[in-house]
Amino acid sequence: MDLNLLVGGEAGQGVQTVSGALSTILQRSGYFVFSIEDYQSRIRGGHSFTQVRFSTTPLRAALKEVDILACLNEETYQLHRRRVKEGGWVLGAVGNEREAHFQHFLPLNFEKIAEGVGNKIFANIVAVGAILGILGLDLESADSYLEEIFARKGEEIVEKNKQALRRGRDEVIPYVSSPLIEETRRGNSSLLVLDGNQALGWGALLSGCQFYSAYPMTPSTGILNFISSHAKEYGVVVEQAEDEIAAINMAIGASYAGARAMTATSGGGFCLMAEGLGLAAMTETPLVVVDAQRPGPSTGLPTRTSQGDLEFVIHASHDEFPRFVFAPRDPQEAINLVIRAFNLAEKYQVPVIILSDQYLADSKWTYENLEVKERPDAPQFSSFPLPYRRYLISPSGVSPRAIPGLGKALVVADSDEHDEFGHLTEDLNLRVEMHKKRMRKKETMRKEVRLPYHREGKDLTLIGWGSTWGVIEEAGERLKAEGIDSGIIHFSEIYPLPLQIEELFSHVSLPVVVENNYGGQLANLLERELKLPFPFRINSYNGRPFLVEELLLKVKEVGKNG
């Protein structure tokens, strides 16, 4: 069983309430859920929709075709009606145009039904009840969910929502000869629904993060909300800064003082952080920065997704200095990569940039077991002879790190070029040695970077990074089912490119690079570093993630031309 629901309306109609309710109810009913959010950057009006896909087996990508289309307004119907499968269900504000392939067409007025309960604001819960009725699920899990969500508003509101739920179900029951779910499952309390921002937050908490500063910026704000909600429990100092410049400089200051520190933003905020990133590099202060990407330039599309910042973060801030760039593929990996980021930031005294995006940040995955493979290392504070040289020139490029005020060391740091003690210098010969010292780290760092996931394929190889993992994997499985032997190379640790990467790509069949950007930024990086051509590229930059069926068609087109 694999079913896909789409609920749409305008901002303010409670589309996300429907998504949250359905995701939780289905998860508590024992199903694996994968949901995505698509919304505009306005409080009222504009089209928003959510897709909730669920199955008896784990899911990791979104589909184009839907089994149930629930329309809180007529615009939803006009925009998405052609996505409904033959034999699928359409309900809600549907207007007068009916597609020929619809077998189940219910022009329900959710608001009018809700008014029968007492207020049209219950319309979204009416829609939830109607969908559960079509699916054939009992309302026990739904009632429990409503009690939890609305308990603070009083028993009367809880009861009104339960009534709305039943009104919605009762409206569709006469038309349901055979529920979409033929055999219901037992509830499984061990299943966990998690979005990318929550996972990045968990990674920080499990890393022993002690200081988190950020200025709210979609789609990274969920990390700030999550960490702040657990700050007291985990002993984290959380600061909502006045802007992104302050946020990164606060984090650098906290790290300089010995705390594990992190900040997060989106691309526009990362622009403001670029000078601070250089300060962390020059002072060799460990730092973890999350860039939750969205389309730009400038304000761009604040609530949509993109993979357009890869080249930017690799080169951000002037001149050259080493850094790691990671991009988790899903919430499970996000937890582990954040822990790894903190460890490597301290080991090499460099910034580690984690690339998320709106798709990863807001989508929800279901897990039966979350596996935390990484463990936070002990603080990397070195022993050293006196007088203390903070920037001692060493073969590895890593100098002994002491914490100001602890012990007998005098810790001096400066944003200018400096000598081994940290004092400003304009000795050009010393400048050369210091710059070479910092850059020497990069070769050792390459040994730390793990090779991408690799599955061989004789006919073609799909290549991607970050959040494209799920859709690439499912498209690859469907290609195999059709007799096309497709391989996968997928990067989570992108920069610097790992050792043995040349060997990995020396036997790749028909590489096809899949990215959510215009220029093919991973493909460009691979061409530059590997001295190999990557002419076959599938790029999407409309602000939405790839859907499985759409990617499949594009891959087949490339296969014909290749």
- The tokens describing 249, both together, are 């400089």
Average of per-residue pLDDT across 17-40: 93
pLDDT at 383: 74
Torsion of Cα atoms, 540 then 541 then 543 then 547, to 10°: 0
Identify the architecture of domain 195-367 in CATH.
3-Layer(aba) Sandwich (3.40)
pTM: 0.95
pLDDT at 511: 96
Using pLDDT thresholds of 50, 70 and 90, give the confidence band for residue 422: very high
Using pLDDT thresholds of 50, 70 and 90, give the confidence band for residue 44: confident
* Structure confidence by residue, pLDDT tens digits, 109-139: 999 999 999 899 999 999 999 999 999 998 9
pLDDT at 11: 86
Using pLDDT thresholds of 50, 70 and 90, give the confidence band for residue 45: confident
* Structure confidence by residue, pLDDT tens digits, 83-95: 999 889 999 988 7
Lowest mean pLDDT among 231-235, 288-292, 355-359, 403-407: 403-407
Identify the architecture of domain 453-561 in CATH.
3-Layer(aba) Sandwich (3.40)
- How many CA atoms are closer than 13 Å to the CA of 213, on its beta-carbon side? 22
Where do runs of H (alpha helix) occur along 449-547? 469-481, 501-505, 521-530
Under CATH, what is the fold of the domain 2-189? Pyruvate-ferredoxin Oxidoreductase; domain 3 (3.40.920)
Residue 441 host element (H or E): helix 428-448
Query: Is a pLDDT exceeding 70 seen at residue 562?
Result: no
Using pLDDT thresholds of 50, 70 and 90, give the confidence band for residue 378: confident
Average of per-residue pLDDT across 58-73: 96
pLDDT at 104: 86
Query: Is a pLDDT exceeding 70 seen at residue 354?
Result: yes
pLDDT at 140: 87
Strand partners for 489: 454, 463
pLDDT at 293: 98
Average pLDDT, the chain: 94
How many beta carbons lie within 10 A of that of residue 458, not counting itself? 11
pLDDT at 381: 75
- The tokens describing 379, both together, are 């603080």
**Is pLDDT larger for residue 369 or for residue 228?**
228
pLDDT at 311: 98
pLDDT at 538: 98
**DSSP letter assigned to residue 424:** B
- The tokens describing 245, both together, are 């410049």
Using pLDDT thresholds of 50, 70 and 90, give the confidence band for residue 247: very high
Every domain of the chain with CATH number 3.40.50.970 lies at 195-367
Task: Report the percent of the chain where pLDDT is more than 90.
Answer: 86
Every domain of the chain with CATH number 3.40.50.920 lies at 453-561
Query: Is a pLDDT exceeding 70 seen at residue 101?
Result: no
- The tokens describing 299, both together, are 């304000």
Task: Of 554, 551, 511, 505, give the one whose Cα is nearest residue 535.
Answer: 511
C-alpha gyration radius of the chain? 26
Query: Is a pLDDT exceeding 90 seen at residue 382?
Result: no
Q: What is the DSSP string of 380-397?
A: -PPP-PSSP-TT---TTS
Using pLDDT thresholds of 50, 70 and 90, give the confidence band for residue 42: confident
Cβ contacts of 303 within 8 Å, gap of 6 or more: 39, 40, 41, 218, 219, 294, 358
pLDDT at 49: 96
Amino acid in the structure at residue 39 = Y
Average of per-residue pLDDT across 52-80: 95
Query: Is a pLDDT exceeding 80 seen at residue 398?
Result: yes
Nearest-angstrom CA–CA distance, 388 and 400: 9
**DSSP letter assigned to residue 468:** G
pLDDT at 448: 96
pLDDT at 560: 75
Q: Spell 82-116 as b/e; 16+ CB within 10 A means b.
A: ebbbeebbbbbbbeeeeeeebebebebebbebbee
Nearest-angstrom CA–CA distance, 469 and 172: 37
Average of per-residue pLDDT across 206-225: 98
